[in-house]
Amino acid sequence: MSIQSALLPILVLGLMTSSVRCAPLPGRQSGPVERRWETLYSRSLARIPGEKRDISRDSDYLTGIKRLRRLYCNVGIGFHLQVRDGKITGVHNESVYSLLEISPVERGVVTLFGVRSRLFVAMNGKGKLYGSAQYTSECKFKEELLANNYNAYESMAHPGMYIGLSKAGKTKKGNRVTTAMTVTHFLPRI
């Protein structure tokens, strides 16, 4: 091994530690010159935490990564879930009312929002699906990935109740279906 190749790691380590020294110490007031030298890279090397955001995880409606999808249920002739005029139904061919915005609100919990109708998919205490203009606790659904790569959507407000479509494309009551039934299996499609 040559002397130059042995000195290269020492030189790189020396440059990295000098960049860490540019970051101000946590308990020390920093002036305008020191703030200019403070970078994300130097903060990450020194493991100094950055500023905290004022958004809490428990807020009503978090803006996460929104997915525009159509939920396809392969029951009967195959239906897409649609939100139209406050009614939730199934439609065989894709329509403007079947385009949904799936937004995360908690880990594993999503809302389904009809893009055209501007209504949330919600489920009441009797297991009936309806379109809601306001975001409420009945609009939250737990998104479960099933073994066949389909998803099932369980109501968070009413555990044990799932979104389901009949063979005719009508919604089934959430308390009469389980994930063992294919009427609750939905495939998010673009």
Q: What value does the mean pLDDT take over residues 120-131?
A: 93
Cβ contact 121:138 at 8 Å: no
Position 63 pLDDT exceeds 60: no
For residue 91, the number of C-alpha atoms closer than 13 Å in the C-beta half-sphere is 14
Handedness of CA 75, 80, 86, 87 (dihedral sign): negative
Cα distance between residue 39 and residue 19, in whole Å: 10
Q: What is the pLDDT of residue 65?
A: 80
Q: Is the pTM of this model over 0.85?
A: no
